[in-house]
Amino acid sequence: MIVGLDFDNTIVSYDALFQQMAIEEKLVPNSIPPTKTAIRDYLRHIGKENFWTELQSRAYGPFLKRAIPFPGVFEFLSHCRKADISIYVVSHKTQFPYQGTQYNLHESALEWMFQQGFMCQEKYGLSEDRVFFEPTATGKCYRIRSLKCDVFLDDLPEFLLSVEFPSSVHRVLFDPHQRTSSFQGLARVGSWREFLQCMLSEWSNRCVTTA
Ligand SMILES: [Mg+2]
Distance from residue 77's CA to the centre of ligand 1 (Å):
18
Rounded to an integer, the average pLDDT of 26-43 is 92
Distance from residue 70's CA to the centre of ligand 1 (Å):
12
Per-residue confidence (pLDDT) for residue 210, from 0 to 100: 35
Lowest mean pLDDT, pick from 23-32, 85-94, 171-180: 171-180
Report the distance separating Cα 88 and Cα 97, nearest Å.
23
Per-residue confidence (pLDDT) for residue 200, from 0 to 100: 83
Could you report the per-residue pLDDT of 150-189, keeping only the tens digit for each? 999 999 999 999 999 999 999 999 999 887 766 776 889 9
> Can you list the positions of beta strands (E) in the chain?
2-5, 12-13, 68-69, 86-92, 131-134, 151-154, 170-174, 187-189
Could you report the per-residue pLDDT of 36-80, keeping only the tens digit for each? 889 999 999 999 988 998 999 999 999 999 999 999 999 999 999
Distance from residue 191's CA to the centre of ligand 1 (Å):
14
Per-residue confidence (pLDDT) for residue 203, from 0 to 100: 57
Rounded to an integer, the average pLDDT of 3-15 is 96
Q: How confident is the model at residue 202 (pLDDT cuts 50, 70, 90)?
A: low
Q: Positive or negative, the Cα torsion across 160, 161, 164, 166? A: positive
Distance from residue 11's CA to the centre of ligand 1 (Å):
8
Percentage of the chain lying above the pLDDT 90 cut: 77
Report the distance separating Cα 38 and Cα 188, nearest Å.
22
Beta bridge partners of 5: 89, 153
Per-residue confidence (pLDDT) for residue 35, from 0 to 100: 86
Distance from residue 38's CA to the centre of ligand 1 (Å):
17
DSSP H helical ranges for 125-191: 137-146, 157-160
Which pTM does this prediction carry?
0.90
